[in-house]
Amino acid sequence: MANPLEGNYPGSPIPYNPGFSVEQPMTTVNGFKLDSLTGISTFTPMKEEFIVFKITVQDYRIDASSGQKVLVGEVMREIQIPVVNECGSTNSFETGPRLDLTAFGQDLQDLNVADIQDILDAAGLDTASNPPVINNGVPDFTKRQIPVITSYSCFDTIVTLNFDPKYQPTCNSIDPTDFRIVGPDTVLRPVIHINKNCDQFVGQTATNQVQLILEKPFDINGRYILFTKTGNDGNVLTDECGFELGGNFIMIIDVNDCPPLFYTVENVTVQEDKNIKVDWKVNPEYFAKGAESVFSAWAILKRNTSAGGGFYPQDYVDLYTARTWTDAFVTEEELDNVSYEYAIQLIQNGEALAPQNQVNSILLQTQPLSNGFLPFSWNNYTGWSNPQYEFFYGEFEQSTSSFQWTSVSPLGNTLNYDFELGQYIDQTDSGYYAFKVQATSTDPGNNFVSESNWLYLDFRPEQDSIVDSTIVNLGTPYIPNVFTPDNDKFHDRFWISLEEGGRNYRQYAQVSIEVYNRWGKLVYENSDFGPINTQSQGWDGTDMNSGQQLADGVYYYIINMKDPETFTEKNYKGHVTIFKNGQ
pLDDT band at residue 469, thresholds of 50, 70 and 90?
A: very low
SS3 456: strand
Nearest-angstrom CA–CA distance, 145 and 163: 16
Q: Using alpha carbons, list the distances in angstroms from residue 19 to 33, 47, 84, 375.
A: 18, 13, 20, 106
Mean pLDDT over the full length of the chain: 84
For the full predicted model, state whether its pTM sits above 0.85. no
| Omega within 30 of 0 (cis) for the link into 387 | no
> How large is the average pLDDT for residues 362-386?
92
User: What's the pLDDT score for residue 505?
Assistant: 44
pLDDT band at residue 6, thresholds of 50, 70 and 90?
A: low
Torsion over CA: 401, 407, 413, 414 (sign) = negative
Question: In this predicted model, what pLDDT tens digit does every residue of 156-205 receive, in sequence order?
Answer: 999 999 988 888 999 999 999 999 999 998 888 899 999 999 988 777 88
> How large is the average pLDDT for residues 39-57?
75
Q: Are 314 and 302 in contact (CB under 8 A)?
A: yes
Ranges 172-186, 277-291, 303-317, 508-522: which has the least confidence? 508-522
More confident residue, 124 or 545: 545
User: What's the pLDDT score for residue 531?
Assistant: 87
Cα end-to-end distance, the chain, whole Å: 106
Nearest-angstrom CA–CA distance, 335 and 61: 95
User: What's the pLDDT score for residue 303?
Assistant: 94
Q: Using alpha carbons, list the distances in angstroms from residue 364 to 304, 454, 572.
A: 15, 7, 26
Provide the β-strand partners of residue 341.
Answer: 303, 360
pLDDT band at residue 85, thresholds of 50, 70 and 90?
A: low
pLDDT band at residue 61, thresholds of 50, 70 and 90?
A: confident
User: What's the pLDDT score for residue 321?
Assistant: 94
SS3 117: helix
pLDDT at 428 over 90: no
Nearest-angstrom CA–CA distance, 413 and 405: 21
> How large is the average pLDDT for residues 61-67?
84
> How large is the average pLDDT for residues 435-453?
95
Mean pLDDT is highest, among 17-31, 73-87, 383-397, for 383-397
* DSSP-derived secondary structure for 155-213: T--EEEEEB-TTSPBBGGG--GGGEEEE-TTS-B--EEEEE----SSTT--B-SEEEEE
Which residues make Cβ contacts (< 8 Å) with residue 114, sequence separation at least 6?
A: none
Q: Using alpha carbons, list the distances in angstroms from residue 94 to 134, 280, 346.
A: 15, 57, 47
Provide the β-strand partners of residue 61.
Answer: 70
pLDDT band at residue 424, thresholds of 50, 70 and 90?
A: confident
Domains and CATH numbers, the chain: 4-83 (no CATH), 106-255 (2.60.40.1220), 286-360 (2.60.40), 364-459 (2.60.40.10), 476-578 (2.60.40)
Nearest-angstrom CA–CA distance, 112 and 133: 10
pLDDT band at residue 4, thresholds of 50, 70 and 90?
A: low
Main-chain phi, psi angles of 335, to 5 degrees: -60, -35
> How large is the average pLDDT for residues 366-383?
91
pLDDT band at residue 275, thresholds of 50, 70 and 90?
A: very high
User: What's the pLDDT score for residue 507?
Assistant: 60
pLDDT band at residue 425, thresholds of 50, 70 and 90?
A: confident
Q: Are 556 and 516 in contact (CB under 8 A)?
A: yes
- % of the chain residues with pLDDT over 70: 87
What residue type is assigned to position 578 of the chain? I
**Within a 13 Å sphere around the CA of 60, how many CA atoms are in the beta-carbon half?**
7
Main-chain phi, psi angles of 237, to 5 degrees: 45, 90
- % of the chain residues with pLDDT over 90: 37
pLDDT at 114 over 80: yes
Beta strands in 416-478 (DSSP E): 416-420, 431-440, 450-451, 455-459, 476-478
* DSSP-derived secondary structure for 502-561: STT----SEEEEEEE-TTS-EEEEETT-GGG-STTTSB-SB-TTTSSBPPSEEEEEEEEE
SS3 222: strand
User: What's the pLDDT score for residue 169?
Assistant: 92
> How large is the average pLDDT for residues 237-248?
84
Give the β-pairing of 482-483 and 568-578.
parallel
pLDDT band at residue 568, thresholds of 50, 70 and 90?
A: low
Nearest-angstrom CA–CA distance, 99 and 247: 15
pLDDT at 270 over 90: yes
pLDDT at 406 over 90: yes
